[in-house]
Amino acid sequence: MVKDIKKVGVPTIFAETTINPKLITAVAKNANVKVLPQELFADGLGEKGSEGETYQKMLISNTQTIVEGRGGKYTPFAAK
């Protein structure tokens, strides 16, 4: 896995809220890539009060995490 990550030039690894981060952290360290501290909501909504407590908040949080994790600037959407 580390060899493949290095080969394709993966800059960032995204962790999920439901997965133990030990494996991802070890792979990232060996591949010399970063793991974002903000996790993605992938297998369901987050706990009440979290950024993933509703479907809409989950999508917003995941979008922001991915955009910023790829080095972009996240601009919040404001409905008119």
Torsion angle in degrees (nearest 10) through CA of 75, 36, 21, 43: 20
In a domain? residue 60:
yes
What is the predicted pLDDT for the residue at 63?
93
Q: Which residues contact 62 (CB under 8 A, 6 or more apart)?
A: 40, 41, 52
In a domain? residue 30:
yes
In a domain? residue 80:
no
Q: How many domains does the chain have?
A: 1
Cα 59 off chain centre by:
12
What is the predicted pLDDT for the residue at 59?
92
Alpha-helical (H) ranges within the chain are 2-8, 22-31, 55-69
In a domain? residue 45:
yes
CATH number at residue 46: 3.40.50.1980
Specify the 3-state DSSP secondary structure of 62.
Answer: helix
pLDDT tens profile 46-76: 889 998 999 999 999 999 999 988 889 999 8
In a domain? residue 74:
no
Domain with 6, as residue range(s), is: 2-69
pLDDT tens profile 18-47: 777 788 889 999 999 988 888 888 888 888
Beta bridge partners of 35: 13
Handedness of CA 72, 75, 76, 80 (dihedral sign): negative
